[in-house]
Copies of this chain bind each other. A is one copy, B any other.
């Protein structure tokens, strides 16, 4: 069956309006990005925590695996308010976990995140097809520099007002993130608690008010969710958790294993790992840190403070200390190769929608 074009497939020249979400921390391997691209979707490299040189090398590796367009994703930098007391308190809270994992006492990280300007420079030089971002809006000169190089820009909104801000900033496309989504909330206007709108309610609102193309994200796990998103008025979907357990995903084995046993009520919103609200499967770290969430440093400080704990936990196969980002739809995770997942979903959608 020939799929009709949507505003998304037309804009970026892909066969199917399905974006594999950027998932930072090594999940979006070059193999995953390329497999999705080669199957007719849009793969995304999550580069928010990568140094500029790593970004360049990874883009080069993806390009050895596919000649199709793909996206590279960064985090828009936020003002970091260092509070030595909060940081000291967080260290005290985290030290027992470090000891349990055999890590030495922590030194404060020199830098919380790679330099955004240098990351963006790498993306501009490499002229990737799509630059996607979250946690805010690039500055006007950055949006202009991307446009001049023919790079399509795609920002994340969690409610209508944010979508309007993105549209008015000259961004090309929007990812509308419903509260079902795994990982960090992209909310950047108003308090994070306000950006908790169900995908089913969010998409028709954008369809009524936003003129640029937008895709639905949050809770979409297979062709049923894709068909629903298109019926609601989205030009496509972005799916993260649905790709986490696939063959090419870089998720650690213990994470993949626990995802398959998750239920829709075992996910929760937490600030414990990064200082920013995110949806994860509940585990010991989240449960024990819950009482202290209000005292923790903000993002990205807390994220930097927990980095070695998360990494050691992944190496040692101890999911009780890992950030187990997961959508409320995680019980529908599937361990097939990414290309097979896409094919299955496309067949499902074809049986459901009238075009």
Pairwise interchain contact A352-B264, C-beta atoms closer than 8 A: no
The answer to whether B231 touches A264 (Cβ under 8 A) is no
- Asked whether B231 lies within 8 Å of A227 as measured between CB atoms, the reply is yes
Q: Is A76 an interface residue (CB 8 A)?
A: no
Which of B205, B207, B219, B232 has a CB less than 8 Å from the CB of A264?
Answer: B205
Q: Which of B205, B219, B265 contacts A161 (CB 8 A)?
A: B265
By CB atoms of chain B within 10 A, which of A190, A220, A231 has the most? A231
For the complex, what is the distance from the CA of A301 to the CA of B330, rounded to whole Å? Answer: 37
Does chain B have a CB within 8 A of A197?
yes
CA gap between A202 and B220 in the complex, in Å: 10
Q: Which of B161, B202, B228 contacts A232 (CB 8 A)?
A: B228
Q: In the complex where A198-B219, A231-B231, A352-B353 touch, is A205 in contact with B265 (Cβ < 8 A)?
A: no
The answer to whether B178 touches A198, judged by C-beta atoms less than 8 angstroms apart, is yes
Of the candidates B199, B204, B208, which one forms a contact with A200 in the assembled complex, judged by CB atoms under 8 Å apart? B199
Is A180 on the interface with B (CB-CB < 8 A)? Answer: yes
Instruction: Report the separation of the CA atoms of residues A159 and B264 in the bound assembly, to the nearest whole angstrom.
Output: 7
Encoded as 1 (CB less than 8 Å from any B CB) or 0, chain A from 194 to 217 comes to: 110111111111011000000000
* CB proximity to B under 8 Å, residues A285-313: none
Complex interface: chain B residues within 8 A of A263 (CB) = 159-161
**Complex contact A224–B233 (CB within 8 A):** yes
A340 to B293, CA, bound (A): 49
Distance between A289 CB and nearest chain B CB, rounded to angstroms? 17
Residues of A whose CB lies within 8 Å of any CB of B are 159-161, 178-180, 190, 194-195, 197-205, 207-208, 218-222, 224-225, 227-229, 231-233, 263-265, 327-329, 331-332, 351-354
30 contacts between A and B (CB under 8 A): A160-B263, A160-B265, A161-B265, A178-B200, A180-B197, A180-B198, A194-B265, A195-B265, A197-B264, A197-B265, A197-B328, A198-B199, A198-B200, A198-B219, A200-B218, A201-B264, A201-B327, A201-B329, A204-B221, A204-B224, A204-B332, A205-B264, A207-B224, A224-B231, A224-B232, A227-B232, A228-B228, A228-B232, A231-B353, A352-B354
> Told that A180-B198, A200-B225, A200-B329 touch, could you supply 17 new A-B pairs with CB distance under 8 A?
A160-B263, A160-B264, A160-B265, A160-B331, A161-B265, A178-B198, A179-B198, A197-B264, A201-B219, A201-B221, A201-B327, A204-B224, A205-B329, A208-B332, A227-B231, A227-B232, A354-B354
